[in-house]
Structure 1
Amino acid sequence: MENVRKRIDVKLVSSWNGRYGAEAQISKPNFHSRAIFDENLVAIQLSKTVVTIDKPMYVGFSILDISKTQLYRFHYDFMRDRFKSNCKVLYTDTDSLVYEIRGQNVYEVMKHKDNINEFDTFDYEKDNPFGMPLLQENSKKIGLMKDELSGKILRRFCGLRSKMYSVDIQNGGFIKKIKGIKSSVVKNTITFDDYLQCLRENTIISREQHNIRSRLHVLRSEKERKIALSPHDDKRYLVPGTTDTLPWGHKDIVAEPAAKRSRHN
């Protein structure tokens, strides 16, 4: 959803004096900044003096909240009800969940007549080995959960932090996600074992990447070195001695002793 408060006016001026010159523009109370291209051309950025709030911003955050509610309902009312303590959340995002399920056949549970309408299974192969029914009426239906791998077996999963995880698919290669790193760099230089090394050895892995950027409307090629994989997640609390995390403020987070905190300072 567009934020109309971020709209701006940009004036291109080629002289200093005059009613529409640079001097007059930068003297305005809504002057924000300027960019000098050369001695005869300057861009002046002005803030809007009148903002018309005509976008339904409430729709944007309502959709996000409804999505979260749907995800919580699926987890607590369906998964926890069917699998009890046999299911564990490994990773979650706005509209997705990755589970570890032990002791039960998840496909048998999914295709049961009382459960099948929780899922969109139309992308499964017709002759899939699980006997999963392909219901046309559930295809692309809003609110249903979907197997992103469409029946392929997920062998291993390694999640380091938000938008940073990898999936090892049986006979199907790997899915590797790293926010902020070019997909070509991730594809060609990062392996599933790099994720495991980062997790188990508490190491930070960096990669170089090349970008084409525009500065003052001049294109240039830049090389940068960025952190690709990091075991440090500032959005979650890492339970000592485990790979489990808790949200900040969770009741099970034990406060550090005062003496230990003072040594850190």
Structure 2
Amino acid sequence: MKTSFASLAALLWLASFSRAHMEMKNPPPFRSKFNKFTTSADYDMTSPLNGGGNNFPCKGYHKLLGTAQGKRVAEWVPGQSYNMTITGGTPHNGGSCQASVSFDKGSTWKAIHSYIGHCPVMGDSSYQFTLPSDTPAGDMLFAWTWFNQLGNREMYMNCAAITVKGGGKKRRGASNPISSRPNMFVANVGNGCGTSEGRDLLFPNPGPDGQQGDGKQQSGNGGGSTTGGSSSTQRGGQQQHAASTSTSTSTSTSKSNGGPPLATGGVKPNPSGGGYCSAARSGAGRNKPLLGI
């Protein structure tokens, strides 16, 4: 059977399109084509983190901080609102995202905003968040993470270098302190936790700043999640509320290769289903789902 040139071109286009996935455009990440300081662009920036977790966090590019390619791309002020822009052609029916920050060069992360459902969408999409009013001045890493609804079980992560300026208005009660924010949700990267396909991940603790979309929700636990928390937002004239169930997944020391935190014991089954953690990873002795799927 002969294949026409047009058919071959279409197949090649579809193949390249299927690899397009999504990436953070603004603030421009390390080694991104959108970053003016990039001298060796990663043209596979849209790919997920390795399943084994050996390039967590930031695909390993957080190590560029302080180098010519790792210069800060933005200056932010505590208490102010900012936007991150996600772009790409394969949103995998959306999913759930988080905006997180690190003050120790990527060793630990705090989620400052959770977007549950319909994140991201086709093309360019913008997501607003507020930098907590007690954010310390100095160098900071900012990260976008994404758990896709359809397709392989993966974790996507892009990181950018930010300088936090002092002198922001620290109004009493203006925002919840950094210390009270949940740790970044981590799964699908060899830390013993995962997500299931076909549902938007419902973060076990979305934190005080969270938004829920219209999609089906799934519960999940991942290394770095914390107990409790809820979020609510107005969407389509109808208020939706996402309350996390009482879970107790804590962060143990990182893997020896510098990978993500392993899940620890104490995770309770969640009847609403979704994510899971491996009992062997959590020290219980054998693999089994700890959250219903």
Greater helix proportion: 1
Taking CA–CA contacts closer than 8 Å with sequence separation of 6 or more, which of the two structures ends up with the larger relative contact order?
Answer: 2
State the structure with more CA Rg.
Answer: 1
